[in-house]
Structure 1
Amino acid sequence: MTEINKPLSIAEIKKVLQTITDPTDERLEAFRLDSRKGALAALNSWERKVEKQRMQEMKLQEMLAYEKRVWSKGKKWVAGIDEVGRGPLAGPVVSAAVILPEDFNVVGINDSKQLSLAKRDALFEVIQAEALAIGIGIKDSTVIDQVNIYEASKLAMIEAVERLKVQPDHLLIDAMTLPLSISQESIIKGDAKSVSIAAASIIAKVTRDRMMEEYDTVYPGYGFSKNAGYGTKEHLNGLDSLGVTAIHRHSFAPVREADNQQKSSL
């Protein structure tokens, strides 16, 4: 407070708090002595925000452990790899490979499934701007039906690595081993343990979701923009009433059943 006899208004306190980042700032103690409910509420809100930021920074450091260990061995180009789209009945499986710089310091990155749509989109743009290299691999429903979803996921990951503009020194892969002559680690639930894999999961997820939004305009009636090709009630109803599209996975049971129903009705 600037004057003992003239306390700051609640609005002014909120404005001051927006400028404070140091928990030891002496102005915070003055605000704590303010008995007004609005002042205390503003201070509590600031403290929650600071604590959330602290926790996110701690999480980032935890998720950089794999990368730091590899960087410490002189390997600069560490690629995190993940895929999305194994479970849907329609659309491709999409993989991403992401190489982050050693000074990467963006908090909030996590397994894409744990993030809101708005947060994923925002982080997608940040990762695109900050990453040293990004590769995308896409295998459509035809490939999935030919080789199975597991093998198609592996092929998409290999393609993502091959599309990187630099040759990686090391691969951090979410629960997969790839037949590549590059040193690699398979990390169970890697998208929650490695920031590079988490970044790859965000790139892959946003890329695939946007593809499915486009498919929704080509094949309306299945809800692709909302369900991303997963077997929701709307999607299954679409299969029943409209039939199978060119992007459906014929090797998946609900689609196969819809195929058989179509054939039997002819």
Structure 2
Amino acid sequence: MAPRKRAASRSPSPQRTPEPPFHFPTVRRGEALFDSYTFHSVDEARAAAGGAAVGEGKGKGRAQEDAEGEQDEKEVRKVEGEWMLGVDEAGRGPALGPQVYGIAFCQLAYSDALKEMGFADSKTLTDPLREELFKDILQHKDDVKYAVTVMSPADISMGMLRKQPYNLNAQSHDVTINLIREVVERGYNVKECYVDTVGPAADYQAKLSSHFPTISFTVTSKADALFPIVSAASIVAKVTRDRILDEWTFAEPGVGGEGEEGEAVRVFGSGYPSDPKTVAWLQDNFDPVFGFPNVARFSWAPVKNALLKKGAASKWDDEPSTIQKYFSGQPAGADRAPLFKDYNLVSVGEF
């Protein structure tokens, strides 16, 4: 019986290096997100063409400061045609990560083509399909423009924790007004605007109309499922927020451990308090003194409650004295920690 021939051994095929994820221009890579920022696709196009962007050189502050921005001094070139604009947001409810407001705008005559591109409620789409639709917007940059404002967790929290709270509805309204104003300041003749409501729709619509009397506003719930231009804005906002979380840069070293390439492990899930991954991450990354990393919104109940229940106790000696303490005969600061007394540390109101 003839010996069986051994099959020739195959050399292992070389492993393919995974392609880096597609970079969406609305996402700032490699830097910790402390301050809110705004990105306009129009500015990027003008910069590539050698032109100056409206508001170039101005820093982006918090939502209220943006909404109170001054008219740019540069002469604005009027853009031809009549335009429609949609507004939506992503990340209103999570305890982790930013809230992102997105807008998309196109000429009124382009509205039918926008429907054919397949835009629908971004919440009903898969992540890959949302990203493909955002790429379609990038490929049709001459027809569909967009912008985002990324509201950082720190800015959201600082507003809500003020002595006179700057609540999330007010912050959202101001960001929306600012985005619309910036489009108008860039020379676009916006005739129609469709907005997913925040708060009572009629009140919000009246507020927007008072700021922009020449624009016809439609403010309603589920606007992203009703109007393709709002769906496009929703997709821009949702993809931007998801990608920011996927690529989150921690300002704090060693948070969550490190992956194979020394990168911080991002296992906080969606950021919603109902997400088990988010709950586990909050439990694993709590510090009794500093609280949580900069991805957390300190004004959200799960974060505030964790600090109240498990945070290190603190005493504020600068709080106003009560009448009972005044007559107690105990000198002010008598119960301060020895460290303050040994080093003669005192509180000052100004330098």
TM bracket, shorter-chain basis:
0.5 to 0.7
Partner of 2:271: 229
Residue 197 of structure 2 corresponds to residue 175 of structure 1: yes
Cα deviation, 1:178-201, whole Å, max 9, x if unaligned, reads: 543143110221000000001000
Q: Secondary structure at the match of 1:215?
A: coil
Identity, in percent, stands at: 27
Asked if the contact 1:224/1:235 (under 8 Å) is kept, the reply is no
Partner of 2:21: none
Aligned length: 193
Cα deviation, 1:153-206, whole Å, max 9, x if unaligned, reads: 223323332443435222110124354314311022100000000100000000
RMSD: 2.7
Residue 227 of structure 2 corresponds to residue 205 of structure 1: no
Letter in 2 for 1:237: A
Letter in 1 for 2:135: E
Mapped partners of 1:217, 1:143: distance in 2: 16
The 3 A distance-change label for structure 1 pair 110 and 225 is farther
Residue 275 of structure 2 corresponds to residue 253 of structure 1: no
Which one has a larger percent helix, Structure 1 or Structure 2? Answer: 1
Partner of 1:96: 102
Aligned counterparts, 1:1-266, within 5 A: 76-101=82-107, 102-103=109-110, 104-105=113-114, 106-130=116-140, 131-145=143-157, 146=159, 147-164=166-183, 165=186, 166-176=188-198, 177=204, 179=208, 180-181=211-212, 182-215=215-248, 220-221=255-256, 227-231=269-273, 232-243=275-286, 244-264=292-312
Q: Secondary structure at the match of 2:243?
A: helix
The 3 A distance-change label for structure 1 pair 128 and 226 is farther
Asked if the contact 2:82/2:189 (under 8 Å) is kept, the reply is no
Letter in 1 for 2:283: D
Letter in 2 for 1:133: K
**TM-score, reference length from structure 1:** 0.64
The 3 A distance-change label for structure 1 pair 224 and 187 is farther
**TM-score, reference length from structure 2:** 0.49
List gaps (5 residues or longer) in structure 2: 1-80, 160-165, 199-203, 257-263, 287-291, 315-351
Partner of 1:25: none
Larger radius of gyration: 2
Cα deviation, 1:91-117, whole Å, max 9, x if unaligned, reads: 111111111242324332111100011
Mapped partners of 1:156, 1:229: distance in 2: 22
Mapped partners of 1:140, 1:154: distance in 2: 16
